[in-house]
């Protein structure tokens, strides 16, 4: 048994006017709660430090850059790193990254128990659009503010487990899980900000959106025999609702813990990394059963190519 007690630290809403320091204090409160419940690792959502700013159109570079971190730890997050190190708890959280070269990514990091960053991931699947879209009920300008991630889907050895990260929309793409599955991933950490309504289809209800999120995460866990910790930023951000639905999913694809609120909320589960062994050595023993000679299209094309009539 290789048990790792994992905390999924869902965050409630963050308003535009909230400071990073305020948010970091909320994260520290969740971290302390998690440590008291025996967690060795705590996972926070996508863009943990700010409101989901891609819903707003900013024209000026300075207005955009105000949402980004130029270094990590930053001044506002240093207390979080310090507390995590004192408690001996590893953390993972998302933030907007501005590199020294002026590149912008939707990123997440993973630390070890000493607070040292052992992994960084940059979101690959950026949803939304890059220009103001008057047809939408609200904007989703991730393609305006971020470049697609350039680091692939790495897997790191951390705390005796094989860990990978993905961010929000990535969870809907089986390729993301499989690339990590092909590196033996045992624990996938995933943060998200998902609006409770579809900006292009007001008839799509919350129930369907929660279902699609959970369906994707459960399928990814099962088909790659890995634990998945999926953590929301939820609640009403300046009149824009984000759904909750944070879950911890086992390697059989079952939900073992589910958030009940759209507030700051902690889920805890003791995840046995050896529970990934059975699936990885039987039905999803990739070495024995995969047929990559038939998967060429996966890497060769993006849009569907329909057979001719
Ligand atoms: N932050 C996201 O990536 N959100 C998308 C929404 C726009 C569909 C998601 O996949 O949840």
Mean pLDDT (whole number) for 286-291 = 98
| Opening angle at CA 243, ends 239 and 249, nearest 5 | 160
Q: Is residue 279 part of a domain?
A: yes
Buried b (16+ CB within 10 A) or exposed e, 259-295: beebebbbbbbebbbebbeebbeeebeeeeeeeeeee
* Burial of 5: CB neighbours in 10 Å, binned 0-12, 13-18, 19+: middle
pLDDT in tens, 115-141: 999 999 999 999 999 999 999 999 999
For the whole model, what pTM was predicted? 0.98
Q: pLDDT confidence of 76, banded at 50, 70, 90?
A: very high
Atom of ligand 1 nearest to the CA of 171: 10
User: What residue owns the CA closest to ligand 1's atom 9?
Assistant: 169
Its domain, for residue 56, covers 3-286
Told to judge if 168 belongs to the known catalytic residues of this protein, a careful annotator would answer yes
Told to judge if 280 belongs to the known catalytic residues of this protein, a careful annotator would answer no
Question: Is-cis flag, bond preceding 73, omega within 30?
Answer: yes
Give the CATH number of the domain where residue 175 resides.
3.60.110.10
Per DSSP (E only), the strands in the chain are: 3-10, 41-43, 90-98, 104-111, 117-122, 155-158, 161-167, 187-192, 227-232, 235-237, 240-242, 247-249, 255-258, 265-272
Task: Determine the residue of 46, 107, 192 to mutate for testing ligand 1's pocket, defined as the one with the most ligand atoms within 8 A of the Cβ atom.
Answer: 192
Q: Is residue 89 part of a domain?
A: yes
Catalytic residue among 69, 123, 237, 280: 123
Told to judge if 46 belongs to the known catalytic residues of this protein, a careful annotator would answer yes
Q: Is residue 19 part of a domain?
A: yes
Distance of CA 197 to the CA centre of its chain: 19
pLDDT in tens, 230-285: 999 999 999 999 999 999 999 999 999 999 999 999 999 999 999 999 999 999 99
- Residue 217 gets the label, from left (phi > 0), alpha (psi -120 to 50) or beta, of alpha
Distance 172 CA to ligand 1 centre (A): 9
Distance 192 CA to ligand 1 centre (A): 7
Q: Is residue 190 part of a domain?
A: yes
pLDDT score for 118:
98
Q: Is residue 87 part of a domain?
A: yes
Q: Is residue 296 part of a domain?
A: no
């Amino acid at each position: 048994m290789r048990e790792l007690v994992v905390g999924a630290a869902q965050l409630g809403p963050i308003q535009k006017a909230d400071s990073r320091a305020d948010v970091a204090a909320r994260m520290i409160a969740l971290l302390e709660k998690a440590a008291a419940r025996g967690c060795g690792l705590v996972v926070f959502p996508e863009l943990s430090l700010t409101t989901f700013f891609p819903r707003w159109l900013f024209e000026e570079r300075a207005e955009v850059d105000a949402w980004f971190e130029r270094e990590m730890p930053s001044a506002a997050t240093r207390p979080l790193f310090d507390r995590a190190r004192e408690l001996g708890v590893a953390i993972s959280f998302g933030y907007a990254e501005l590199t020294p070269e002026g590149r912008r990514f939707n990123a997440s990091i993973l630390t070890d128990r000493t607070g040292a960053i052992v992994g960084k991931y940059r979101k690959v699947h950026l949803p939304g659009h890059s220009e103001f879209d008057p047809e939408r009920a609200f904007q989703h300008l991730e393609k305006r503010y971020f470049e697609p991630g350039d680091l692939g889907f790495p897997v790191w050895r951390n705390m005796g487990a094989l860990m990978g990260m993905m961010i929000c929309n990535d969870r809907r793409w089986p390729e993301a899980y499989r690339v990590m599955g092909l590196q033996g991933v045992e624990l996938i950490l995933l943060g998200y900000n998902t609006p409770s309504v579809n900006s292009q289809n007001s008839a799509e209800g919350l129930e369907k959106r929660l279902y699609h999120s959970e369906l994707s995460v459960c399928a990814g866990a099962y088909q790659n025999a890995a634990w998945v910790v999926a953590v929301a930023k939820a609640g009403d951000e300046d009149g824009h609702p984000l759904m909750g639905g944070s879950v911890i999913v086992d390697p059989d694809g079952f939900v073992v813990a589910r958030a009940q609120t759209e507030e700051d909320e902690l889920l805890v589960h003791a995840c046995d990394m050896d529970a990934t062994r059975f699936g990885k050595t039987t039905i999803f023993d990739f070495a024995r059963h995969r047929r990559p000679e038939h998967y060429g299209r996966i890497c060769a094309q993006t849009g569907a190519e329909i057979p001719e009539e």
